[in-house]
Amino acid sequence: MNPLLGKLTKLLGEEYRRLTGVRKQASFLKDELSAMKALLDRMELMDKIDPSAKNWRDHVREMSYDMENCIDDFMHDTEDAYEKKGFIRKMAQRLRRLGRRHQIANRIKELKVLVVEANARRERYKIDEFINSSPSIVVTDPRISVIYREREGIIGIDGSKEELVGLLMDSKKKLKVVSIMGFGGLGKTTLAKQVYDEIGGQFNCKAFVPVSQRPDVKSLLTGLQLKLGMEDSSHAQELQDIIDRLREYLKHKRYLVLVDDLWDEPTWNIISCAFPEHGNGSKVMVTTRLDDIALWACQNDHACIYKMKPLKEQDSRQLFFNRVFGSKNDCPEHFKEISARILRKCGGLPLAIITISSILASQEARSPNEWESIVSSLGAKISTKSTFKEMRGILNLSYIHLPEV
């Protein structure tokens, strides 16, 4: 539905200001469809969908395709007129003369009726009630799970987990923010999630918030409300309203929040406004690849930064052998030398080790020659100074070699 919303937004722009009737209808459609899209997005995260809700979802999708075709026709006419005459005013005159504008305006009115009917069906089927009462899951490509299926029990993480718990869970009642900093692939999220799961029961509420490089902060905070157990507020709200609701909800609670993969200061400046300080012993964990962001989130307190380290050689070997051969003691003699070379290239990065071992474990025929062809595509040694491009190459290689499911 994003392309359709984008086109409706364009119709509301200055270039179409003379077409007041069409713009008014477009404004209505955009507002209503934005609310519907919020529901559709949440339905995508659900494990099971009620038949009535599924029927409504399919109806809205089909309706959006019809709308997009109609808007495309309208925009095509406007572009033709603009190219020939250079002015939207002349284009509008041409459309009036040909009757095309009236025809499309009538069609948009018909689409408006369809939207009203879809909303009526939404109320009749109690779609909002169903969505708000249903648990959700994150839907991913099932092949990707092959890479990560052992990450919960990753080798060598226990010591790091104890250190992080000790750093986070002091006796002070003041809100504490701890940054977990390290290069991509070192296992920041894995470690943070294990700590999050282990200590989560000590808090009134908790939430895991994935951020990424170009986040929609309003959507992040709206999602945070749902994860904390707040009532749905997906209808149009200003960012400040969402922050105020979060602060009010959390001010008398002991909360735990994991902000994963933070990249910039402005995003943190907004997100952190939602975390009130009321002496309840609340905790916030932040994972990031960047030193300055880790320090910024902790208000320049170096003592609140946990720096990830590569796996030790023994732990790297155990993780690799367990995944490929089932046990650290079951590596055949003729694979030991090439295994050692692979581990040197992985540089102690858990993600690299898990990814490459998953590729090798999935191969039906296991010969050193076949391993050599895969190893040769890895390039130079991966390390904590490796670039994002190099790690992305590893992940792309893994995706190519993952089995179909």
- Going from the first residue of the chain to its last (405 residues), give the mean pLDDT of each consecutive group of 10, the final group possibly shorter: 77 70 78 81 69 81 79 68 52 55 68 80 75 50 40 60 86 88 82 90 92 83 87 68 90 92 91 90 93 91 88 85 78 83 83 78 64 68 46 46 39
Q: How far is CA 359 from the centre of its chain?
A: 25
Say which CATH class 151-307 falls into. alpha beta
Buried b (16+ CB within 10 A) or exposed e, 364-387: eeeeeeebeebbeebeeebeeebe
Residues of the chain with CATH 3.40.50.300: 151-307
pLDDT of amino acid 378: 62
Distance CA 317, CA 314 (A): 5
Identify the residue whose tokens are 């007129």: 81
Query: Can you state the percent helix, strand and coil of the chain, rounding each to 5?
Result: 65, 10, 30
Whole-model pTM: value is: 0.54
pLDDT of amino acid 296: 92
